C-alpha cells in the first residue's frame, strides 16, 4: 500500500467519509501536511508523521484544546488524533487585515488572562520534537523561578549533555546563572495560559485576515516567556507589543528579562539543530553573569 493510500484509508476510517482529493501543503519541518477534501466538499487539515513519538499528536491535540478554553484567539478545532497523525479543521489562508497586529496583540494578551492556580501542566509535551517537562513538583507548582529554571534551562542542559552539545563553558555559565536567577526573575503574577512556542511560523492568517495559533507547546507559566519567544526570530510588529501592553501591561523590567526566556528556546534549538546556536546561548547567559 502506498503512503497516499494509507492516508486515504486512515482519514476515511476516522471521519466516516469518502475522500475526493488531497493536496500536499508546504510549511512543516517535522511532519507532512495535507488538505483533504471529501465527497460532500468538506475540507480538513491532516498532519502525519509515521516516525513521530507515540504521543506527540495526542499532546498537540490537548494543547490546542487547552488554548481554545481562553476564547481569545482562533484555534483550529481538533477532529481526531492518533500516534502518527492529527486531523484538524481546515482554515483557509488569507491576507492580514488592516489592524492585524493590533488585534493579534490585544487578543494574545486576553489569552494570557486565562490563568491557573499552578505553574506547569497536567502532562509533559513537546517543544518541536524535543520533550518539554511540564509536571511540577509541589514546590514548583507555586514557584515560577524553580519551575522555569529546573524544567526549562536545566532540562535543556541535561539534554545537551546527553546529545554531546554541552561544554564546560556552557555548564559553568548556567551554574553561575542559577546563583543569580532569584535576582533576574521576579514576579507575583498568576500562571498564564501560554502557547509555549510562538514565533512567526506558528501563527497563520485566516480567511478573515485574523491570527490563528498553531503548533503549540502549551503550559501555564509567566507570560513573559511567551513574549520573549516572539522576540527571538522576528515576525511581530511594534503594534503587536503596544496593543498587548495596553490590554495587559507587563511588569516593570520585562525587557531585562527577555534574554532569560529566549535562552530556553536557543538551548532547545541547539539540541534540535546543533552547534550553530551554541554561541548565541553563551551570549544570552553572559548578559546576566
The string of pLDDT tens digits covering residues 142-199 is 999 999 999 999 999 999 999 999 999 999 999 999 999 999 998 889 999 999 999 9
- Helix, strand or coil, per DSSP, at residue 214: coil
Instruction: Tell me whether residue 255 is in a domain.
Output: yes
Q: What domain range includes position 170?
A: 100-286
The string of pLDDT tens digits covering residues 205-262 is 999 999 999 999 999 999 999 999 999 998 999 999 999 999 999 999 999 999 999 9
* 124/51: higher pLDDT: 124
Of 103, 197, 215, 226, which one is the catalytic site residue? 197
The torsion angle over the Cα atoms of residues 231, 235, 238 and 240, rounded to 10 degrees, is: -90
Residues 6+ apart with CB under 8 A from 56: 49, 83, 126, 129
**Mean pLDDT value of segment 110-115:** 98
**All three cell numbers of 110:** 486576553
Look up 197 and say whether it is catalytic: yes
pLDDT > 90: percent of the chain: 80
Burial 70-79 (b: 16+ CB within 10 A, else e): bebbbbbebb
* 20/88: higher pLDDT: 88
Instruction: Tell me whether residue 282 is in a domain.
Output: yes
Nearest in space to 14 (alpha carbons), one of 66, 61, 74, 52: 61
Report the chain's mean pLDDT, rounded to a whole number: 94
- Domain total for the chain? 2
Quick one: 174 and 65 in the same domain? no
Quick one: 56 and 112 in the same domain? no
pLDDT, residue 43, reads 94
Quick one: 8 and 52 in the same domain? yes
This prediction's pTM: 0.95
Rounded to whole angstroms, what are the CA distances from 120 to 3, 142, 168?
37, 10, 30
Query: How far is 283 from 289, CA to CA, in rounded Å?
Result: 10
**Mean pLDDT value of segment 94-100:** 97
Instruction: Tell me whether residue 15 is in a domain.
Output: yes
Amino acid at each position: 500500500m502506498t503512503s497516499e493510500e494509507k492516508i486515504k484509508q486512515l482519514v476515511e476510517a476516522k471521519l466516516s467519509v469518502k475522500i475526493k482529493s488531497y493536496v500536499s501543503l508546504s510549511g512543516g519541518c517535522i511532519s507532512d501536511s495535507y488538505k483533504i477534501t471529501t465527497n460532500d466538499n468538506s475540507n480538513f487539515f491532516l498532519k502525519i508523521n509515521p516516525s513521530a513519538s507515540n504521543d506527540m499528536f495526542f499532546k498537540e491535540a490537548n494543547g490546542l484544546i487547552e488554548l481554545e478554553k481562553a476564547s481569545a484567539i482562533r484555534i483550529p478545532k481538533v477532529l481526531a488524533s492518533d500516534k502518527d497523525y492529527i486531523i484538524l479543521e481546515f482554515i483557509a489562508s488569507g491576507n492580514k487585515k488592516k489592524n492585524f497586529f493590533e488585534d493579534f496583540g490585544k487578543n494574545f494578551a486576553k489569552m494570557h488572562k486565562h490563568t491557573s492556580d499552578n505553574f506547569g501542566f497536567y502532562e509533559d509535551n513537546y517543544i518541536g520534537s524535543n520533550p518539554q517537562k511540564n509536571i511540577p513538583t509541589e514546590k514548583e507548582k507555586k514557584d515560577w523561578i524553580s519551575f522555569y529554571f529546573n524544567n526549562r534551562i536545566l532540562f535543556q542542559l541535561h539534554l545537551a549533555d546527553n546529545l554531546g552539545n554541552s561544554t564546560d563553558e556552557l555548564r559553568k555559565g548556567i551554574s553561575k546563572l542559577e546563583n543569580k536567577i532569584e535576582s533576574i526573575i521576579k514576579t507575583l503574577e498568576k500562571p498564564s495560559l501560554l502557547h509555549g512556542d510562538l514565533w512567526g511560523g506558528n501563527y497563520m492568517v485566516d480567511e478573515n485576515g485574523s491570527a490563528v495559533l498553531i503548533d503549540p507547546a502549551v503550559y501555564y507559566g509567566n507570560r513573559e516567556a511567551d513574549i520573549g519567544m516572539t522576540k527571538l526570530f522576528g515576525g511581530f510588529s511594534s503594534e503587536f507589543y503596544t496593543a498587548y501592553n495596553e490590554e495587559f501591561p507587563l511588569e516593570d523590567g520585562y525587557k531585562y528579562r527577555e534574554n532569560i526566556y529566549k535562552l530556553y528556546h536557543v538551548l532547545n534549538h541547539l539540541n534540535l539543530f546543533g552547534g550553530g546556536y551554541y554561541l548565541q546561548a553563551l551570549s544570552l547567559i553572559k548578559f546576566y553573569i
